[in-house]
Structure 1
Amino acid sequence: MQIIWISGATSHYRKFNVTKTQLTRFAILLALLLIMIGSAIYFMGFRVAIKFDPSMARDMGGVITSEELYHLEEEYRQKLTKLQGSLKAMDQKIDSLSKLNEQYAALATPLPIKEKRKDKEKSSEASEGKGGPYLPLFPNQVNFEENVSLRIGIIKTLESTESLNKKIQSIKEAWLEKYERLSLLPTKPPLASGYGLSSNFGTRLDPINNSPAFHPGIDFNAKPGTQVFAAGSGLVIKAKYDTELGNVIEVKHSEGFTSLYAHCQKLLVNQGDTVTRGQLIAEVGNTGRSTGPHLHFSIYKNGTLLNPMEVLSFSKPLAAKEN
Structure 2
Amino acid sequence: MHIILVSNRLATAKTFVITPRFVLAAVTVFLAMMFATSALFSWLSVQFRLPFLEHMVLSVHKQEVERSDAYMRDNLNAMAARLGQMQAQLLRLDSLGERVSSLAGVKPEDKPIDFRGGQGGPLLLAQPQTPVEFGQALDRLSRHVEYRLDALSAMESQLLDEKVRRSLLPTITPIQGNYVGSGFGWRVDPIVGAGAMHEGIDFVADVGTPVIAAAGGVVVVAENHPQYGNLIEIDHGNDFSTRYAHLSKLVVKDGQFVKRGQHLGLSGNTGRSTGPHLHFEVRYKGVAQNPSRFLQQGGQLAQASRGRR
TM-score by length of 1: 0.62
Post-superposition Cα deviations, 1:238-284, rounded to whole Å, max 9, x if no partner, equal 22223332211122332222211111121112233333333221212
Alignment of 1:1-40 (within 5 A): 27-34=27-34
Distance 2:271 2:186 in 1: 21
| Amino acid of the structure 1 residue aligned with 2:181 | S
Distance 1:184 1:100 in 2: 22
- CA 1:27/1:81 → structure 2, altered by over 3 Å: closer, same or farther? closer
- CA 1:316/1:182 → structure 2, altered by over 3 Å: closer, same or farther? closer
Post-superposition Cα deviations, 1:256-313, rounded to whole Å, max 9, x if no partner, equal 2221111112111223333333322121222233343321111122222111122343
Q: 1:89 aligns with which of 81, 87, 92?
A: 92
Q: Which residue of structure 1 aligns with residue 161 of structure 2?
A: 177
| Amino acid of the structure 2 residue aligned with 1:90 | L
Give the CA RMSD over aligned residues. Answer: 4.5
Does residue 165 (structure 1) correspond to residue 149 (structure 2)? The answer is yes
Q: 1:79 aligns with which of 77, 82, 88?
A: 82
- CA 1:194/1:79 → structure 2, altered by over 3 Å: closer, same or farther? farther
Distance 1:132 1:170 in 2: 12
Q: Is the 8 A contact 2:187 2:195 kept in 1?
A: yes
Distance 2:36 2:72 in 1: 30
Does residue 264 (structure 1) correspond to residue 247 (structure 2)? The answer is yes
| Amino acid of the structure 1 residue aligned with 2:268 | G
Distance 1:189 1:26 in 2: 99
Does residue 311 (structure 1) correspond to residue 290 (structure 2)? The answer is no
Partner SS state of residue 283, structure 2: strand
Q: 1:302 aligns with which of 285, 289, 292?
A: 285
Distance 1:239 1:269 in 2: 7
Partner SS state of residue 204, structure 1: strand
| Amino acid of the structure 2 residue aligned with 1:74 | N
Q: Which residue of structure 1 aligns with residue 133 of structure 2?
A: 149
Q: Percent identity?
A: 30
Q: Is the 8 A contact 2:128 2:134 kept in 1?
A: no
Q: Which residue of structure 1 aligns with residue 225 of structure 2?
A: 242
Following TM superposition, where does structure 1 have runs of at least 4 consecutive aligned residues deviating by more than 6 angstroms?
5-9, 20-25, 35-38, 137-142, 145-148
Q: Is the 8 A contact 1:137 1:160 kept in 2?
A: no
| Amino acid of the structure 1 residue aligned with 2:202 | D
Partner SS state of residue 271, structure 1: coil
Partner SS state of residue 164, structure 1: helix
Distance 1:292 1:316 in 2: 31
Q: Which residue of structure 1 aligns with residue 305 of structure 2?
A: none
Alignment of 1:110-125 (within 5 A): none
Does residue 100 (structure 1) correspond to residue 79 (structure 2)? The answer is no
- CA 1:132/1:34 → structure 2, altered by over 3 Å: closer, same or farther? closer
Distance 1:36 1:83 in 2: 54
Q: Is the 8 A contact 1:142 1:153 kept in 2?
A: no
| Amino acid of the structure 2 residue aligned with 1:166 | D
Distance 1:26 1:303 in 2: 104
Q: Specify which structure has the bigger relative contact order, considering alpha-carbon pairs within 8 angstroms and separated by 6 or more residues.
A: 1
- CA 1:307/1:23 → structure 2, altered by over 3 Å: closer, same or farther? closer
Q: Is the 8 A contact 1:236 1:249 kept in 2?
A: yes
- CA 1:315/1:37 → structure 2, altered by over 3 Å: closer, same or farther? farther
Q: CA shift at 1:83, angstroms?
A: 1.3
Q: CA shift at 1:75, angstroms?
A: 4.1
